[in-house]
Amino acid sequence: MPARNHVENPFEYVIERISWAYSDIRRAITAPPRRHEADRPATVRRIQTADLWAALREGFHDLGVARSDVVFIALFYPIVGLVLGWFFSSLNLLPLVLPLVTGFALLGPLAAIGLYEISRRLEAGAPVSWSTPFEVLRSPAFSSILGLGAILALTFFAWLAAAWGVYALTLGPQPPASLGGFLSDVFRTPAGWTMIVVGGGVGFLFAAFVFAIGVVSFPLMLDRDVGIAAAVRTSLRAVAANPGPMALWGAIIAGALFLGSIPVFAGLILVMPVLGHASWRLYRRVVADA
> Residue 1: exposed, middle, or buried by beta-carbon count in 10 A (0-12, 13-18, 19+)?
exposed
CA 119 to mean position of chain CA atoms: 15
Residue 13 lies in a domain: no
What pLDDT sits at residue 85? 65
Q: Which DSSP category does 47 fall into? A: -
Residue 15 lies in a domain: no
Residue 43 lies in a domain: no
Residue 36 lies in a domain: no
Residue 281 lies in a domain: yes
Where b means 16+ CB within 10 Å and e means fewer, 90-100 reads eeebbbbbbbb
Angle between helices 228-241 and 217-224 (to 10 degrees): 130
What pLDDT sits at residue 28? 42
For residue 269, list its beta bridge partners. none
CB of 13 closer than 8 Å to CB of 131: yes
What pLDDT sits at residue 129? 73
Residue 256 lies in a domain: yes
The residue segments making up the domain with residue 177 are 49-286
What pLDDT sits at residue 80? 67
What pLDDT sits at residue 47? 94
What pLDDT sits at residue 45? 92
Q: Which residues fall within 8 angstroms of residue 115, CB to CB, at 6 or more apart? A: 70, 73, 133, 272, 273, 276, 277, 279, 280
Residue 17 lies in a domain: no
pLDDT in tens, 79-132: 666 676 666 665 567 788 778 777 777 887 887 888 888 888 888 888 777 777
**Measured between alpha carbons, how far is 99 from 161 in angstroms, rounded to an integer?**
10
What pLDDT sits at residue 265? 67
Residue ranges, the chain, pLDDT below 50: 1-11, 13-14, 17-18, 21-22, 24-25, 27-38
What pLDDT sits at residue 13? 43
Domain count within the chain: 1
What pLDDT sits at residue 14? 42
Residue 129 lies in a domain: yes
What pLDDT sits at residue 226? 84
